[in-house]
Chain A
Amino acid sequence: MFGFTALELARIQFGFTVSFHIIFPAITIGLASYLTVLEACWLRTKKELYRDLYHFWLKIFAVNFGMGVVSGLVMAYEFGTNWSGFSAFAGGITGPLLAYEVLTAFFLEAGFLGVMLFGWNRVGPALHFLATAMVALGTLISATWILASNSWMQTPQGYEIINGRVVPVDWFAVIFNPSFPYRLAHMSVAAFLATALMVGASAAWLLLKGKDNPAIRKMLSMAMWMLIAVAPIQAVIGDAHGLNTLHHQPAKLAAMEGHWENKGNEGVPLILFGLPDMYAEETKYKVEIPRLGSLIITHSLDGTYQGLKEFPKEDRPNSTIVFWSFRVMVGLGLLMILLGAISVWLRWRGRMETSRPFLRFALYMGPAGLVAMLAGWFTTEIGRQPWVVYNVMRTADAVSPHGVVELSITLGIFIVVYFAVFGTGIAYLLRLIRKGPIVSEGLQMEVGGPGQERTPARPLSAARKSDRDDAHKDKE
């Protein structure tokens, strides 16, 4: 199809399904922690707007969680259907890590999610808060397992290869592999940032539409504080992650920078923009700043680092893609810092909730956290190529023996179904957001729990039919 090879189609298929999936858990991680903060504020201050905000975001959390479960089902099978070589070879390590992720998620569902979603009027405030905090912790633990597995593929250690397959010899080394702490920190903070931007954009949207109440203003305020505190930290973590990549995966870093070769001992320029050409082995149309590349990557003015030409052609990741996906991520990160900085200025001038250009900027930045996260994933995953387990197994040896025809058919089905199903889900989420937090929302009785119509196994059910009807009426 369109001249793609079977390997490329298998990669596109996996990339498509996992990119769709990753959005939901990321928001789940961020919202769970946000809800914990809201509930803590409510318990400390007893200000009702915190309780109202808690219930507003709880419904959105539930729908989002449900879509994460549904899209995750596919992921549990795709490692085998699409990457049988990889599963047979490395399943001894990635399998148990994935199993722990699944078990953690189910433990949460059986334990604390039900209390969190439906227990507000049934259990004491301290127990309910504990449930929320445990769900937040659980989402982070789930992420930890998955990122341990992914990081092991990037920087494998703690294993031996016996009879042509991976055998774990030291689980501690497997899990705490060199890139794991950086990736975990970078991804968790990315989830928090993406959520803060989404919350901020929701508030900006409501304010722009003329809805205004103290809860909406508080939403905007909290989101902007989060942004200005965390976006710069994310830049620092990203820098540390980059140094880690330079050390363990130098080819990836060279591809991200479009850096082909050193000129003697001269400092390396930073290429701001350009078009890396894999065949011509150069970066075309480049705009560069002398020595800045050395400064950023080696933290000295005349340090050098390996260029792509120092790696055999068959071991080079596609620089054209990762050069740009990396710049999209960094560019959006800089915009996030800018948005945070403007918010501080406007807050000081007392105009944060009323400045329409600022609110519009915050609205447009709503999806930026998710886009930056996906761009970051493209960078790290495509940058790992041509390896599936870095320097151990090539992606070409990992793929299942499927032909172009069946891969094209299934890819087409996935695209249609995902856009239809998750498109509907996302539209539904937007309708819930459009309704906005309502004063005294938390006072309504919530009925649910095991054996009730609305149960923790069906988080989507936490949002009621009436929510949708009201939102619809609102539109008319």
Chain B
Amino acid sequence: MGVDLSIIWAVIILFGVMMYIVMDGFDLGIGILYPFFKQKDDRDVIMNTVAPVWDGNETWLVLGGAGLLAAFPLAYAVILSALYLPLIFMLVGLIFRGVAFEFRFKALDHERHFWDKAFIGGSIAATFFQGVALGAYIQGFAIKDGQFSGGPMDWLSPFALFTGAGLLVAYGLLGSTWLIMKTEGELQARAYRITRVLVWVMLATIAIISVWTPLIDERISARWFSFPNMMWFAPVPILVAAAAVLLLRSLVKQQHATPFVFTLVLIFLGYSGLGISVWPNVVPPNITIWQAAAPPQSQGFALIGALLIIPIILMYTIWSYYVFRGKVRAGEGYH
């Protein structure tokens, strides 16, 4: 057989979702940490560290949704209808924080506090329900005849609530290490203090999820704890431990960019651990990417556009971040 379009599309969508988690992660994290910074000047600086990039980050979420529909319509249909409520709550959160970003700067002084609260509430709600959706996804859905057959509250489980809280920690850590990298002085010192606490909470969260996930489904535990898989996947937990040590050390040394980099490594490892647990299913517990795949005529047609335009979006993104590198100081920017 020739090229397996389903694999190519799975890679594109996995890549898109990872780009989303990494990039929208830190700017959602900033919204989560916003309550810890009360002064308007600090808040302005914090906002300005993400102002030029946050909106482009959500690009990947839209692309992920449209790509999933184009390449794996069955997965799109089952996952989205099964996660109806958490996804709607997430979208509403994203709308609120998205416009709050702009309206805050345009608001009069007595209106600003409303948009500040919308920014915080929207960021927390979007993150939490994303995490809940993730947890519910790992647990799998009740499916009958290729349709979701469960109830409206199936997603609500202790595990999903825990992953929701876990994602708040993960994005919070991304946000705080981002602030270490992009700010200086008292603001940066506070970001260090927050990070030191969050790292340990994050590591505890990773440990709990690593133990909890295999308990949910014996297929997942078989995937990890059978021979020879164990040897192939052993690097994942080892690398997690190494990244954690390096992250802690960079905090002790008061390095600027390194904490963010190692947090990204941690997040990436967690994401790949999830991928290992689920692959090759696109809808847990038992719909594979090939079963959910659109006809090759559809996958091929959409692939042409994706391969032409995604590299352009990527180059543009890299260029934006490159131009925007360096510290952000108070009073900079037009706001």
Q: Which residues of A contact B (CB under 8 A)?
A: 66-67, 69-74, 76-77, 79-82, 84-85, 87-88, 90-96, 98-103, 106-107, 109-111, 162, 165, 167-169, 171, 400-403, 405-406, 409-410, 413-414, 417, 421, 424-425, 428, 447, 449-455, 457-458, 460-461, 463-465, 468-469, 472
Contacts and interface: CB of A to CB of B under 8 A. Distances in A.
28 contacts: A70-B98, A73-B91, A79-B76, A80-B68, A84-B80, A84-B81, A87-B80, A91-B74, A91-B76, A91-B298, A95-B73, A96-B70, A96-B302, A100-B305, A103-B308, A111-B312, A165-B73, A168-B295, A414-B88, A417-B95, A425-B99, A450-B316, A450-B319, A450-B320, A453-B52, A457-B54, A465-B106, A468-B108
B199 interface: no
Contact of B309 (A76, A106, A403): A106
Nearest to B301: A96
A302 to B, nearest CB: 47
Contacts of B101: 458
Contacts of A82: 81, 84
Nearest to B48: A453
Contact of B335 (A85, A101, A167, A465): A465
B73 A88 contact: yes
Contacts of A85: 77, 147
Given A410-B88, A457-B56, A451 B67 contact: no
A174 B83 CA distance: 31
B302 A102 contact: no
Given A81-B81, A402-B152, A472-B108, A417 B96 contact: yes
B149 interface: yes
B37 interface: no
Contact of B55 (A67, A69, A87, A451): A69
Contacts of B92: 413-414, 417
Given A106-B309, A454-B334, A457-B55, A84 B302 contact: no
Given A72-B62, A77-B91, A464-B334, A88 B146 contact: yes
B77 A96 contact: no
A90 B79 CA distance: 16
Interface of B: 48, 51-56, 58-59, 61-63, 65-71, 73-74, 76-81, 83-85, 87-88, 91-92, 94-96, 98-99, 101-103, 105-106, 108, 146-149, 152, 294-295, 297-298, 301-302, 305-306, 308-310, 312-313, 316, 319-324, 333-335
Contacts of B334: 447, 453-454, 464-465
A360 B320 CA distance: 47
A74 B91 contact: yes
A110 B316 contact: yes
B297 A451 contact: no
Nearest to B108: A472
A171 B134 CA distance: 35
Q: What are the 5 A-B residue pairs with the smallest beta carbon separation, nearest first?
A: A91-B73, A451-B323, A80-B80, A95-B70, A84-B81
A405 B152 CA distance: 9
Contact of B298 (A95, A413, A455, A461): A95
Contacts of A79: 69, 76, 80
A458 B67 contact: no
Interface centre among B62, B69, B298, B321, by most chain A C-beta atoms within 10 angstroms, is B69
Given A95-B70, A95-B298, A88 B95 contact: no
B297 A167 contact: yes
Nearest to A107: B309
A69 B324 CA distance: 23
Contacts of A425: 99, 103
Nearest to A403: B152
A453 B333 contact: yes
A103 B55 contact: no
Contacts of A457: 52-56, 59, 320
A95 B309 contact: no
Interface centre among A70, A84, A90, A463, by most chain B C-beta atoms within 10 angstroms, is A84
A99 B302 contact: yes
A400 B148 contact: yes
Given A451-B322, A461-B102, A76 B62 contact: yes
B147 A70 contact: no
B67 A465 contact: no
A450 B106 contact: no
Nearest to A472: B108
B293 to A, nearest CB: 9
B94 A81 contact: no
Interface centre among A92, A101, A414, by most chain B C-beta atoms within 10 angstroms, is A92
B69 A99 contact: yes
Contacts of A80: 65, 68-69, 76-77, 79-81
A449 B83 CA distance: 37
Contacts of B78: 84, 88
A453 B335 CA distance: 8
B80 A103 contact: no
Contacts of B85: 406, 409-410
A347 B272 CA distance: 69
A456 to B, nearest CB: 9
Contacts of B52: 450-453, 455, 457-458
A79 B146 CA distance: 16
A91 B294 contact: yes
A103 B311 CA distance: 11
A302 B222 CA distance: 76
A405 to B, nearest CB: 7
Given A70-B99, A167-B295, A450-B52, A99 B319 contact: no
B316 to A, nearest CB: 4
Nearest to B315: A110
B63 A95 contact: no
A88 B55 contact: no
A428 B65 contact: no
A465 B323 CA distance: 24
Contacts of A169: 297
A424 B106 CA distance: 11
Contacts of A69: 55
Given A66-B102, A80-B81, A81-B81, A92 B295 contact: yes
Contact of B84 (A93, A96, A98, A406): A406
Given A84-B148, A91-B74, 8 more contacts: A74-B95, A79-B76, A81-B83, A87-B69, A88-B78, A91-B69, A169-B297, A450-B323
B302 to A, nearest CB: 4
Contacts of B301: 96, 168, 171
Contacts of B55: 69, 455, 457-458
Contacts of B308: 103
Given A80-B81, A84-B77, A168 B298 contact: yes
Contact of B320 (A99, A402, A451): A451
A87 B94 CA distance: 23
A421 B295 contact: no
B295 A400 contact: no
A237 B2 CA distance: 47
B228 to A, nearest CB: 36
Nearest to B298: A92
